[in-house]
Amino acid sequence: MQNIIFFSTSAGKKPVEEFLNSLSAKEAQKVLWVLQLIKELPAVSGEYFKKLQNTDDIWEVRAKLGNNAFRLLGFLDDGSLVILTNWFAKKKVKKHQRLKLICLNNERKNISRGNNHG
């Protein structure tokens, strides 16, 4: 079981929350269903939530609806808090590597701000 929050920039923006608000109702419902699984279940299938290989603890939330696949990136804080920082649609794979770096940068900012979770 995990607690989930959305990373907040120093300007108060929450990129993942803004992304969720941009989705269709069905897409948002699917992503929220996956987030609910992560919150409630003690163990979640790698189909929905997994640590990315060759990263410094970046985790990926995975949701798919039809041909649309969405990924939310984040990190764990204290082992039970998932802080989601970025997102991408799977069709934009090239963006994936850049977003991993942004996620790491946001994790470092979060730590340097004294774990300000928004």
Tell me if residue 8 falls in helix, strand or coil: coil
Tens digit of each residue's pLDDT, the chain (118 residues): 688 999 998 999 999 999 999 999 999 999 999 999 999 998 899 999 999 888 888 899 999 988 889 999 988 887 777 888 888 887 644 555 566 666 666 666 666 656 555 4
Helices (DSSP H) in 1-118: which residue ranges? 15-22, 25-40, 94-112
Give the pairing type, strands 58-65 and 68-77.
antiparallel
The pLDDT value recorded for residue 48 is 94
**Closest alpha carbon to 87 in 67, 109, 58:** 58
Residue pair 8/14 in contact (Cβ under 8 Å)? The answer is yes
Tell me if residue 42 falls in helix, strand or coil: coil
The pLDDT value recorded for residue 114 is 62
Q: Phi and psi dihedrals of 14, rounded to 5?
A: -125, 95
**What H or E segment, with its residue span, contains residue 77?**
strand 68-77
The pLDDT value recorded for residue 97 is 57
The pLDDT value recorded for residue 57 is 84
